Amino acid sequence: MSAAGDACVIGIDFGTLSGRAVVVRVRDGAEIGTAVHEYRHGVMDATLAATGEPLPPDWALQDPEDYRDVLREAVPAAVAAAGVDPSLIVGIGTDFTACTVMPVLADGTALCQIPELAGRPHAYPKLWKHHAAQPQADRINALAHERHEPWIGRYGGKISAEWQFAKALQLLEEDPEVYRQTSRWIEAADWIIWQLTGVETRNACTAGYKGIRQDGHYPTREFLGQLHPGFATFAADKLEHPVLPLGRKAGSLTEQAAVWTGLPEGIAVAVGNVDAHVTAPAAAAIAPGQMVAIMGTSTCHVMNGTRLAEVPGMCGVVDGGIVAGMWGYEAGQSGVGDLFAWCAEYVAGAEYRAEAERRGVSVQEVLDAEAARQPAGAHGLIALDWLNGNRSVLVDHHLSGLIVGLTLATRAPDIYRALIESTAFGTRVIIDTFNASGVPVTELVIAGGLTKSRFVLQLYADVTRRPLSVIASEQGPALGSAIHAAVAAGCYPDVPAAAVAMGGKHQAVYLPDPVSADVYDRLYAEYLLLHDYFGRGGNEVMHRLRGVRDRVVAAASGGNA
Amino acid sequence: MSAAGDACVIGIDFGTLSGRAVVVRVRDGAEIGTAVHEYRHGVMDATLAATGEPLPPDWALQDPEDYRDVLREAVPAAVAAAGVDPSLIVGIGTDFTACTVMPVLADGTALCQIPELAGRPHAYPKLWKHHAAQPQADRINALAHERHEPWIGRYGGKISAEWQFAKALQLLEEDPEVYRQTSRWIEAADWIIWQLTGVETRNACTAGYKGIRQDGHYPTREFLGQLHPGFATFAADKLEHPVLPLGRKAGSLTEQAAVWTGLPEGIAVAVGNVDAHVTAPAAAAIAPGQMVAIMGTSTCHVMNGTRLAEVPGMCGVVDGGIVAGMWGYEAGQSGVGDLFAWCAEYVAGAEYRAEAERRGVSVQEVLDAEAARQPAGAHGLIALDWLNGNRSVLVDHHLSGLIVGLTLATRAPDIYRALIESTAFGTRVIIDTFNASGVPVTELVIAGGLTKSRFVLQLYADVTRRPLSVIASEQGPALGSAIHAAVAAGCYPDVPAAAVAMGGKHQAVYLPDPVSADVYDRLYAEYLLLHDYFGRGGNEVMHRLRGVRDRVVAAASGGNA
């Protein structure tokens, strides 16, 4: 009946504000116990907790002790909740936000945990959404195109300010002393494995998507040296390390980590992984053409392909980046659920708030219900979903949002619905771009927090004119990590086999409504027209407005106008 | 010292929801008593009060008995409040919303007051904002251009669906029986004079601006016949009548009207007038180049010129339309204060509402204060102020509003300020267009309800880079009507002389701040770019979205898709 009797594994999902541990039965993927630990320091984006010192704009740091607390708190709690004997646990897998990257000593000690560096912001892990390295990213991109670097096409023509090289270059340029003390520059995804196993490893996913490692190589010494003379040996000194395929065993649980977690010493620990990517096996959607959209505050799209293609505006394509042996494609939308929450919080007038209080639900639930009542096209609005910039396919974080069609009769549910539609149009642009680039999307599988909204998913089915499948698990990333744990522990030969046994999705849950889909075809044409006008150089007003804003705000705070 | 001792006149301002009577001293314009009467039927835009029958979209009717109630209620109350002996009142002047137009019998009886017609919507006065005659207006405009009618240029190239001919053609086509019984098609501005004097008159202002009467003629029989065979004799049969200059005595107060008002029988009644136009003399701003902007829910711009010019997108130019002997120019913005109120009511989230309750002020006052704190340009937004369409200079009621530059950090005060700025940019477009057309604007004088907002006026000064003067009276239209009453009563030789004695303004109250003005020069360039792209055919998305909306809503309510 089963590969390992009632053996269990643990998947740990390290998110932005908390970590979740889930105990999963190896033979069928049943989730039998779960626990969450909220990070004590959360996201440090205003002040550094250790000193109270204010942080500059666009910074976002974390405290690595919070990650270790997840091992100490959430893991034993999940085991207790599952009611299983810890001796039945045969492996651990993890996934992390990315690129969340940190400077450490040769033994893995986080620099910020050295007392004399605790007051230095640059000694801390930079969370994925630390955006202060944009100038460095701009220079990396410009130089890459100037030198016709072969790897830049693998990232849709543009690397992100969120990634390893931009953040490291910022460190070098702004705090050379901390840079000098940095022996290893490592993803938190790999650092947590180091904490569990006592040995440094690097995983294929973050090395490829966030570390610009392509065809076995990082960017060259010449390239890096042209960015900054002191940066020439960065990759060789601080990154280079064998890269392991996903699902491989990274090592065995150390005595120390066994004490933290209450798990048996010596059990298998899988190599690090990323929350979005690990969700594909959890949905059992790893065949070429199965695009998994993990929809939450933002959306990440992951899909395997059998061949290498350059898709304009994708986040990246990495050999074995999702599953070993296939090309893993990633794309993204930088604002999705965030936009809906923004509308509910800041654009909904008193009537909807009163209604929410009366019914004892959230404002967003009221907007959801009101918006769902409308036929497609009735509000007369089109929005551009760029309130948090555009990741795919324009790769421009300095774009902004737009709403057109406003009248005095426009109400919050209209704007709310238009924002949801705009993100669906954004998804359709991504699908169309993949299709046009020779990487056809054959199925759309939805995972993430927004799977709870029937209204949003029906709307996405209508806009994309596709049946939507939905991941079966409500804890996709943790289940995906557990799948990797099972493979690392030898319970399954590989991730695809484990995904079939342990992952799953509900097939074609939402079918497009032909009447709505026809309306949306028309509105999508309008979206595309605005998308290209504002996003591809027809009118650079979004950039100019941002420029005026930045100068005015700087002048008002005593800087230069 | 004075032309008529302590003689007084009464000005009556018939607004959209109420009528206001003001007792004014003839020698200096002192406003010594005022009273307001709210119309019992208000605006009938959902159902006809007499039957409860629902009205179609875009309809707006009134009950003329409400107008007579103003004579019976507000006038005596104002005299009582003034504490003057009614025998001191020497004249009455009035102003009205326009084009508010109605079908009457040859004796002035309103058709809706004939019992057998009380259930017919088309028998009622159509309020200025009745917009259901747009198809008729479209046909009038198309035919006028096809035939190269000389008058179309006098209206900026487009007549409005709000005006006499569009509304009359709608009447003919939708209720030919009521049309047949219509002896006279008359502005409420002139009908109320008929009620006061017992004789029909027509005034130069509405005949010119709303009745397409130019150089002494209405559109020709041939033109009207091409619109509809039954319409050929419309002007000759139902409009034609001597047109009197503004300030002329229309007649004497009848015995009946003396009973209604409590005023002496036989006193002078001035010819009818329009609320916006009558405000220019109230501000003593009738010299060529003095543009008076009456800023309220919408803005109306009136200005005299010495020569005839065709200003693109103006509402109209009429000989003697503001003051006899000069060319009166009119332009307008169809959404101004309405937009700010919309933002406060529907876009302001809980925090501003809570703040308003805490401080015991309106949400709009909170937004005003928050928005006023920002430096120009800090919110990073540009809006197009077309949430209620665009009157000048695009003359397109099917345009809609736009906001660009939205981010997740955008809050209600940002949107609120951007909307205010957008209306100021709209005003600057109008001024620039007049300047470019050989009708230079030399002074900007503000009147209307928005004179109360120091923040709005300072912003207008900054955006237009002009000192702003402000009307002295808080009851501009009623004072302007009183000025006309004084002239009709013979207390002054003409309106300019009476305006100097009775009207007034505060000179250059708001001076442009050079730092803000520099920022606004940059943002105005962005506004113009968007204005022309969305308003002059670069992208007809606003029209197409409206088309989709109308079809979808019609289909949902059982009509044709």
Q: If you write DSSP's letter for every residue of A87-128 in order, what string do you get?
A: GGEEEEEEEE-TT-EEEE-TT--BGGGSGGGTT-GGGSPBPT
Contact map slice: B 104-163 vs A, CB within 8 A: none
Does residue A58 contact residue A2 with C-beta atoms inside 8 Å?
A: no
Nearest CA in chain B to A519: B548
Element (H, E) at B279: helix B275-282
Does residue A330 contact residue A321 with C-beta atoms inside 8 Å?
A: yes
| CA dist., res. B308 & res. B438, Å (int) | 9
Minimum distance, in Å, between the CA of residue B382 and any CA atom of chain A:
8
The residue with greater pLDDT, B129 or A256, is A256
DSSP secondary structure code for residue A452 in this structure? G
Alpha helix ranges (H) inside A403-475: 412-436, 454-464
Interface check for A180 against chain B (CB to CB < 8 A): the answer is no
Contact across the interface for A539 and B519, Cβ inside 8 Å: no
Nearest CA in chain A to B529: A539
For chain A, the average pLDDT equals 96
Q: How confident is the model at residue A5 (pLDDT cuts 50, 70, 90)?
A: low
Contact across the interface for A541 and B353, Cβ inside 8 Å: no
The 10 Å Cβ neighbour count of residue B54 is 11
B99 prior amide bond cis, ω within 30: yes
Q: Could you give the 3-state DSSP secondary structure of residue A377?
A: coil
Nearest CA in chain A to B397: A407
**Residue A554, amino acid:** A
| CA dist., res. A187 & res. A286, Å (int) | 24
Nearest CA in chain B to A356: B350
Tell me what pLDDT residue A121 has: 98
Mean pLDDT of A331-337: 95
Interface check for B554 against chain A (CB to CB < 8 A): the answer is no
Interface check for A379 against chain B (CB to CB < 8 A): the answer is yes
Q: Residue A422's beta-bridge partner residues? A: none
DSSP secondary structure code for residue B389 in this structure? B
Q: Could you give the 3-state DSSP secondary structure of residue A147?
A: coil
CB-CB neighbors (< 8 A) of B346 in chain A: 349, 410-412
Q: Residue B399's beta-bridge partner residues? A: none
Torsion of CA B106, B108, B111, B116, to 10 degrees: -80
| CA dist., res. B204 & res. A478, Å (int) | 79
CB-CB neighbors (< 8 A) of B377 in chain A: 548-549, 551-552
| CA dist., res. A337 & res. B146, Å (int) | 52
Nearest CA in chain B to A550: B378
Interface check for A347 against chain B (CB to CB < 8 A): the answer is yes
Contact across the interface for B541 and A339, Cβ inside 8 Å: no
Tell me what pLDDT residue A2 has: 39
The 10 Å Cβ neighbour count of residue A438 is 12
Mean pLDDT of A395-411: 94
Residue from A253, A249, A250, A255 nearest A266 by CA: A253
Minimum distance, in Å, between the CA of residue A422 and any CA atom of chain B:
14
Report ipTM (2 d.p.).
Answer: 0.92
Minimum distance, in Å, between the CA of residue B266 and any CA atom of chain A:
46
Minimum distance, in Å, between the CA of residue A274 and any CA atom of chain B:
25
Mean pLDDT of A83-107: 97
Tell me what pLDDT residue B432 has: 98
Minimum distance, in Å, between the CA of residue A549 and any CA atom of chain B:
5
Q: If you write DSSP's letter for every residue of B337-384 in order, what string do you get?
A: HHHHHHIIIII--HHHHHHHHHHTS-HHHHHHHHHHHSPTTTT--EEE
Four-residue CA torsion sign, A366, B361, B297, B519: negative
Tell me what pLDDT residue B397 has: 83
Interface check for B378 against chain A (CB to CB < 8 A): the answer is yes
Residue from B277, B171, B156, B170 nearest B212 by CA: B156
pLDDT at A344 over 80: yes
Contact across the interface for A533 and B519, Cβ inside 8 Å: no
Minimum distance, in Å, between the CA of residue B339 and any CA atom of chain A:
7
Interface check for A539 against chain B (CB to CB < 8 A): the answer is yes
CB-CB neighbors (< 8 A) of B335 in chain A: 408
Contact across the interface for A339 and B408, Cβ inside 8 Å: yes
Interface check for B412 against chain A (CB to CB < 8 A): the answer is yes
Of all residues in chain A, the percent with pLDDT exceeding 70 is: 99
- CB-nearest to B375 from A377, A411, A556 is A556
- Chain pair A-B, CB pairs under 8 angstroms: 169
- CB-nearest to A381 from B338, B375, B545 is B545
**Residue B305, amino acid:** G
Distance from chain centroid for Cα A438: 24
CB-CB neighbors (< 8 A) of A552 in chain B: 375-378, 519
Q: Which of B548, B557, B560 would you mutate first to test chain A, the one with the most A CBs within 10 A?
A: B548
Contact across the interface for B552 and A519, Cβ inside 8 Å: yes
Q: How confident is the model at residue A353 (pLDDT cuts 50, 70, 90)?
A: confident
CB-CB neighbors (< 8 A) of B545 in chain A: 380-382, 404-405, 523, 526
CB-CB neighbors (< 8 A) of A548 in chain B: 377, 380, 519, 522-523
CB-CB neighbors (< 8 A) of A375 in chain B: 552-553, 555-556
pLDDT at A3 over 50: no
Nearest CA in chain B to A410: B346
Tell me what pLDDT residue A560 has: 44
Tell me what pLDDT residue A1 has: 35
CB-CB neighbors (< 8 A) of A542 in chain B: 404-405
- CB-nearest to A526 from B402, B533, B541 is B541
Does residue B388 contact residue B335 with C-beta atoms inside 8 Å?
A: yes
Minimum distance, in Å, between the CA of residue A38 and any CA atom of chain B:
24
Tell me what pLDDT residue A541 has: 97
Contact across the interface for B353 and A348, Cβ inside 8 Å: no
Minimum distance, in Å, between the CA of residue A43 and any CA atom of chain B:
17
- The per-residue pLDDT string of chain B (561 residues; one tens digit each, 9 = 90 and over) reads 333 459 999 999 999 999 999 999 999 999 999 999 999 999 999 999 999 999 998 899 999 999 999 999 999 999 999 999 999 999 999 999 999 999 999 999 999 999 999 999 999 999 999 999 999 999 999 999 999 999 999 999 999 999 999 999 999 999 999 999 999 999 999 999 999 999 999 999 999 999 999 999 999 999 999 999 999 999 999 999 999 999 999 999 999 999 999 999 999 999 999 999 999 999 999 999 999 999 999 999 999 999 999 999 999 999 999 999 999 999 999 999 999 999 999 998 888 888 999 999 999 999 999 999 999 999 999 999 999 999 999 988 889 999 999 999 999 999 999 999 999 999 999 999 999 999 999 999 999 999 999 999 999 999 999 999 999 999 999 999 999 999 999 999 999 999 999 999 999 999 999 999 999 999 999 999 999 999 999 999 999 999 999 999 999 887 543
Tell me what pLDDT residue A57 has: 84
Contact map slice: A 58-97 vs B, CB within 8 A: none
- CB-nearest to B387 from A348, A407, A544 is A407
- CB-nearest to B380 from A339, A376, A545 is A545
Nearest CA in chain B to A555: B375
Interface check for B455 against chain A (CB to CB < 8 A): the answer is no
Q: Which residue has the tokens 């639900």?
A: A361
CB neighbour list of residue A351: distance below 8 Å, 6 or more residues apart: none
Tell me what pLDDT residue A85 has: 96
Contact map slice: B 495-534 vs A, CB within 8 A: 519, 522-523, 526, 529-530, 533-534
Interface check for B400 against chain A (CB to CB < 8 A): the answer is yes
Does residue B380 contact residue A548 with C-beta atoms inside 8 Å?
A: yes
- CB-nearest to B539 from A379, A523, A533 is A533
Minimum distance, in Å, between the CA of residue A230 and any CA atom of chain B:
37
The CA angle A401-A405-A410, to the nearest 5 degrees, is 95
Mean pLDDT of A259-272: 98
Interface check for B372 against chain A (CB to CB < 8 A): the answer is no
